[in-house]
């Protein structure tokens, strides 16, 4: 009876551990998706941010297929004339939600998670994205995740161990009573240390030990894999800059085009950090801002050794030490002009809702898998004259089948040498 009870209870423990671990990973995956794609504009509760709160989102959309299409590409979905989508678009100031490079399964997981209000960690992530001030953020910043399942698992394991111990005591007592009635004299069990008891138990229950050991090895490998996959991925990184600059104020409220400041984005590999002289095109006359008054604009004047009263520059100019937010490895080639001027890719596709960020943060993971996924799914505009000849080659290719999509991958965008050479 002792061995059967122990096997049953430990089997249940292992089963519950697997279930809890699976649920934890599923919840964490949804939380990560939310933080990466939604937290800048939405909260998982019913509170509004840039966009509406996502709690109860299913009840607001009569058709889940439409909701998925809306999340994938709101701009294209608006063209269908859907009444609710257009009402939502007008209600939130005609603010365009960037297209989301997510699969249907990922979107459904997000909907399932946010429909119930998410959980505390993801909500905190959403608040952090909205109120990010760079404090405490760093290249090695880690995501806050819920430990509730782990606590439950520990409690269940403890209860099972207590039950096993109680059953063993009951069994020993019953055996002693039976032997006493039969007149059988039993020698008292020798006193053993917990370690010795465990060794005896493990020796008698090798299958259970093997199953538990396998589960622990898998769990350790999964944690190690997640840790290794996160090396060099700084999604959510939002450093505090030497001068507070609000993209929400400049690009959002004042509608200043990205290319006005980042002039290299259409002409070169780099988008370029604008020089202080570009700032002075406006701030020679605008000497006080609505958020920080004269303090932050004064830092620009100090860097240029500029006197706003006499409007003259001094000789003691010094560069502003901006902190880089987005950075790719040296072995990866990326050209802004190729994507923006030729490919007609919107800035928000990679940088997220930059026009709603007070403090710029890295919106996308910028991993190779993320880039490749985009190349597989992004269709090329057939009317783009730059790709006209390539489109003819694509259609005339023997491997071409009617209905195949003309994507970046079709142009060789999945070849290693395109980005690594």
Q: What is the pLDDT of residue 12?
A: 56
What's the pLDDT tens digit per position in 198-207? 888 888 888 8
- Name which of 108-122, 192-206, 253-267, 277-291 the model is least confident about: 108-122
The span from the CA of 96 to the CA of 73, in Å, is 10
pLDDT cut 70: percent of the chain above it: 85
The contacts of residue 247 (CB under 8 Å, 6+ apart) are 354, 355, 356, 357, 358, 360
What phi and psi values does residue 370 have, to the nearest 5 degrees?
-65, -40
Please indicate whether residue 274 or residue 157 has the higher confidence score (pLDDT).
Answer: 274
- Reading the block at residue 51, the tokens are 């966009």
DSSP 8-state symbol, 292: T
Q: Mapping DSSP to helix (H, G, I), strand (E, B) and coil, where does residue 367 land?
A: coil
Max avg pLDDT among 5-19, 44-58, 117-131, 289-303: 289-303
- Reading the block at residue 99, the tokens are 């297209």
**pLDDT band of 141, cuts 50, 70, 90:** very low
**pLDDT band of 53, cuts 50, 70, 90:** confident
Please indicate whether residue 230 or residue 310 has the higher confidence score (pLDDT).
Answer: 310
The span from the CA of 214 to the CA of 159, in Å, is 22
What predicted TM-score, i.e. pTM, was given to this entire model? 0.55
Q: What is the pLDDT of residue 18?
A: 53
Residue 13 pLDDT > 70: no
Residue 137 pLDDT > 70: no
The angle subtended at Cα 102 by Cα 234 and Cα 417, nearest 5°, is 65
Q: What is the pLDDT of residue 306?
A: 95
Do 244 and 45 touch, CB atoms closer than 8 A?
no
Do 358 and 49 touch, CB atoms closer than 8 A?
no
Q: What is the pLDDT of residue 1?
A: 41
The span from the CA of 298 to the CA of 306, in Å, is 9
pLDDT cut 90: percent of the chain above it: 33
What H or E segment, with its residue span, contains residue 169? helix 148-182
What phi and psi values does residue 202 have, to the nearest 5 degrees?
-65, -35
128-131, long-range: CB < 8 A, 24+ apart: 128/39, 129/35, 129/39, 129/40, 129/236, 129/361, 130/39, 130/40, 130/43, 130/49, 130/50, 131/358
In a 13 Å sphere around the CA of 162, the CA atoms on its Cβ side amount to 6
Please indicate whether residue 268 or residue 176 has the higher confidence score (pLDDT).
Answer: 268
Q: What is the pLDDT of residue 281?
A: 93
Q: What is the pLDDT of residue 104?
A: 84
**pLDDT band of 298, cuts 50, 70, 90:** very high
What's the pLDDT tens digit per position in 328-386? 988 999 999 999 998 889 999 999 999 999 999 999 999 999 999 999 988 888 778 88
Residue 351 CB neighbour total at 10 angstroms: 21
Positive or negative: CA dihedral 130, 133, 134, 135: negative
Q: What is the pLDDT of residue 294?
A: 93
The span from the CA of 360 to the CA of 133, in Å, is 9
The span from the CA of 107 to the CA of 68, in Å, is 7
What's the pLDDT tens digit per position in 54-99? 888 888 887 888 888 888 888 888 888 888 888 888 887 777 777 7
Instruction: Give the mean model confidence (pLDDT) for residues 231-240.
Output: 89
The span from the CA of 290 to the CA of 270, in Å, is 31
Q: Mapping DSSP to helix (H, G, I), strand (E, B) and coil, where does residue 289 land?
A: strand
Average pLDDT for the chain: 81
- Number of H helices and E strands in the chain, helices first, is 19, 2
The span from the CA of 262 to the CA of 256, in Å, is 11
The contacts of residue 228 (CB under 8 Å, 6+ apart) are none
The span from the CA of 275 to the CA of 33, in Å, is 35
In a 13 Å sphere around the CA of 339, the CA atoms on its Cβ side amount to 22
Q: What is the pLDDT of residue 10?
A: 54
The span from the CA of 311 to the CA of 301, in Å, is 10
Nearest in space to 372 (alpha carbons), one of 404, 326, 418: 418
Residue 4 pLDDT > 80: no
- Count of residues making up the chain: 421
CATH number of 1-186: 1.10.760.10
Q: What is the pLDDT of residue 149?
A: 64
Do 336 and 265 touch, CB atoms closer than 8 A?
yes
DSSP 8-state symbol, 411: G
């Amino acid at each position: 009876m002792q061995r059967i009870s122990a096997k049953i209870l430990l089997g249940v423990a292992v089963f519950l551990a697997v279930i809890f671990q699976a649920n934890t990973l599923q919840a964490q995956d949804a939380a990560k998706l939310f933080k990466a794609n939604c937290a800048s504009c939405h909260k998982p509760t019913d509170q509004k941010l840039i966009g509406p709160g996502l709690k109860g989102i299913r009840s607001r959309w009569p058709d889940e297929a439409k909701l998925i299409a809306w999340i994938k590409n709101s701009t294209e979905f608006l063209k269908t004339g859907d009444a609710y989508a257009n009402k939502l678009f007008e209600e939130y100031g005609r603010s365009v939600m960037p297209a989301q490079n997510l699969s249907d399964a990922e979107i459904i997981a997000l909907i399932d998670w946010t429909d119930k209000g998410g959980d505390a960690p993801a909500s905190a992530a959403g608040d952090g994205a909205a109120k990010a001030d760079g404090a405490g953020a760093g290249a090695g910043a880690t995501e806050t995740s819920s430990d509730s399942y782990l606590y439950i698992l520990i409690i269940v394991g403890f209860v099972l161990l207590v039950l096993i111990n109680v059953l063993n005591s009951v069994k020993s007592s019953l055996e002693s009573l039976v032997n006493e009635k039969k007149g059988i004299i039993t020698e008292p069990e020798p006193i053993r240390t917990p370690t010795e008891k465990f060794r005896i138990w493990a020796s008698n229950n090798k299958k259970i030990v093997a199953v538990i050991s396998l589960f622990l090895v898998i769990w350790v490998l999964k944690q190690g894999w997640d840790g290794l996959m996160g090396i060099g991925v700084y999604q959510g990184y939002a450093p505090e800059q030497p001068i507070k600059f609000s993209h929400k104020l400049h690009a959002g409220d004042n509608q200043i085009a990205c290319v006005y400041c980042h002039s290299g984005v259409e002409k070169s590999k780099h988008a370029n950090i604008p020089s202080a002289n570009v700032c002075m095109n406006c701030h020679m006359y605008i000497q006080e801002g609505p958020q920080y008054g004269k303090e932050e604009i004064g830092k620009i004047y100090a860097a240029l050794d500029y006197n706003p009263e006499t409007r003259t520059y001094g000789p003691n100019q010094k560069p502003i030490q901006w902190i880089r937010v987005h950075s790719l490895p040296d072995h990866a080639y990326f050209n802004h002009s190729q994507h923006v001027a030729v490919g007609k890719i919107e800035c928000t596709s990679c940088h997220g809702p930059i026009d709603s960020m007070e403090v710029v943060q890295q919106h996308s993971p910028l991993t190779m898998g993320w880039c490749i996924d985009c190349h597989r799914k992004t269709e090329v505009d057939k009317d783009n004259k730059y790709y006209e000849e390539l489109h003819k080659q694509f259609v005339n290719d023997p491997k071409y089948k009617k209905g195949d999509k003309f994507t970046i991958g079709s142009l060789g965008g999945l070849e290693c040498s395109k980005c690594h050479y």
